[in-house]
Amino acid sequence: TEKQTWSQRFESTLHPAIARFNASISFDIELIEYDITGSQAHAQMLAHTGIISPEEAKQLVTGLDKIRQEYRQGKFQPGIDAEDVHFAVEKRLTEIAGDVGKKLHTARSRNDQVGTDTRLYLRDQIQQIRQHLREFQAVLLDIAEKNIETLIPGYTHLQRAQPVSLAHHLLAYFQMAQRDLERLGDVYQRVNISPLGCGALAGTTFPIDRHYTAKLLHFDQIYANSLDGVSDRDFAIEFLCAASIIMVHLSRLSEEVILWSSEEFRFVTLKDSCATGSSIMPQKKNPDVPELVRGKTGRVFGHLQAMLVIIKGLPLAYNKDLQEDKEGIFDSVNTIKACLEAITILLREGLEFSPERLAQAVTEDFSNATDVADYLAARGVPFREAYNLVGKVVKTSIGAGKLLKDLTLEEWQQIHPAFAADIYEAISPYQVVAARNSYGGTGFAQVRQALLAARTQISAE
């Protein structure tokens, strides 16, 4: 095998199994384009500060461009010998550009380099995930707009509680996604800080200009302390935290879709394009997409936990443990993107709400009982008294196999003289929903306002 970059200081070569164990090239190749971009900025800075000549910088930048091209064409596939993407690129550069390639690593360490690459990668990915979130929000809004007056049972403890507008229910997920977007925006600010120029840990003897590279790479700030700059992975923890919260939200929605599509609920039917069958039970149609999203949530939580544990015992500054940060970050990014894409497709074209079934569902229970109590309370009966009275009515109605809407006016008036003929209207599902017109409630007027605000929010992004 080829000699390691650092082999001069060593008597013998690395054990092949240890070389494989040590190498990160199989996964950090994902960083290659960011590594090239970072190196190009570094080379330009070296010329800007007179550490190398402008001609040398040009050769370096051109050579790096060539590697990018080779990589995109599938022609650059470094093996284990290269150890990691940083060595791989440097080696190839020296092959392409000759001895000048050996100047690239002046005033730099792989420690500030890998930190730079990871941040450039994450910065890019955060923006992509935010775009996926916006598309997810847009489809939620589209469905909500068509279903302002579609009613759906609302639950607490998974027991029928009070009916709500389907739009209101979907807008709850819109709001979660909005916080996710904002949270990623916050994380971005801590990702977008440049460690380049921190060197191995202590800075460098060369008259570098860290602000210059930061500017070229569009970093908002630079790390003030070199030890902190090379060993900080807070930004990765924060990202994985935001990623985990996104997965929490997607998983909750998935769980609802799974419930809704079951025979017990029948609130939605899955279209063939987004459902799968069973190998043995010919009648089955399974909600694999939301199940997978719910299941994949576990791996993102796991990566967050792993990252916290990787960092917690590390003395300053760089330790090889930090190489373990990458796969969790990459897998979380890929998982989140795949889940957002799948769930957006599922909502857009894989799911059909069943209006008849929903209309039936909101009339078959006692979820208008609060409204009877509110009716009396609005007519001067202290709420707790009204509540107790309605509790008794529910009990006797269940015994008699009736719903509240089946009681006669005489029966109502025996319960309390304040009841009048308008009680029937007051406890109809439509009115029950319409009447919850407090700010942020499910009343149709509120939902219309909320939809309007959501549309404005989306188009302002």
Instruction: Decide if residue 235 touches ligand ARG (CB under 6 A).
Output: no
Q: Extract the tokens encoding 237.
A: 């923890």
The percent helix, strand, coil of the chain (3-state, each to 5) is 65, 5, 30
Binding mask 74-93 for ligand ARG (x = CB under 6 A): ----------x-x-------
Q: Are 257 and 351 in contact (CB under 8 A)?
A: yes
**CB closer to ligand ARG, 75 vs 320:** 320
All residues at 6 or more sequence positions from 197 whose CB lies less than 8 Å from its CB, including other chains: 107, 108, 112, 203, 204, 208, 210, 213, 222, 226
105 is annotated as an active-site residue: no
| DSSP 8-state symbol, 29 | G
**CB closer to ligand ARG, 318 vs 330:** 318
All residues at 6 or more sequence positions from 243 whose CB lies less than 8 Å from its CB, including other chains: 129, 300, 303, 304, 332, 333, 336
Instruction: Decide if residue 432 touches ligand ARG (CB under 6 A).
Output: no
Is the preceding peptide bond at 317 cis, omega within 30 degrees of 0?
A: yes
Instruction: Decide if residue 370 touches ligand ARG (CB under 6 A).
Output: no
Of the residues 24, 132, 157, 165, only one is catalytic, namely 157
- 343: amino acid identity, one letter: I
Q: CB 318 → ligand ARG: shortest distance, Å?
A: 5
Instruction: Decide if residue 180 touches ligand ARG (CB under 6 A).
Output: no
Instruction: Decide if residue 204 touches ligand ARG (CB under 6 A).
Output: no
Q: Which stretch binds ligand ARG (CB under 6 A): 52-60, 110-118, 256-264, 445-453?
A: 110-118
CB atoms within 10 A of CB 189: 12
Give CA angle at 159 (400, 403), nearest 5°: 25
**CB closer to ligand ARG, 86 vs 436:** 86
3-state DSSP call for residue 96?
Answer: helix
Cα first-last separation, the chain: 52
- Helix (H) or strand (E) run with residue 165 in it: strand 159-165
Binding mask 15-54 for ligand ARG (x = CB under 6 A): ---------x---x--------------------------
Instruction: Decide if residue 4 touches ligand ARG (CB under 6 A).
Output: no
157 is annotated as an active-site residue: yes
All residues at 6 or more sequence positions from 27 whose CB lies less than 8 Å from its CB, including other chains: 326, 327, 330
**CB closer to ligand ARG, 181 vs 196:** 196
Q: CB 3 → ligand ARG: shortest distance, Å?
A: 17
Among 41, 46, 114, 447, binds ligand ARG (CB under 6 A): 114
Catalytic residues, by residue number, are 157, 278
Binding site for ligand ARG (CB under 6 A): 24, 28, 84, 86, 110-111, 114, 318, 320, 322-323
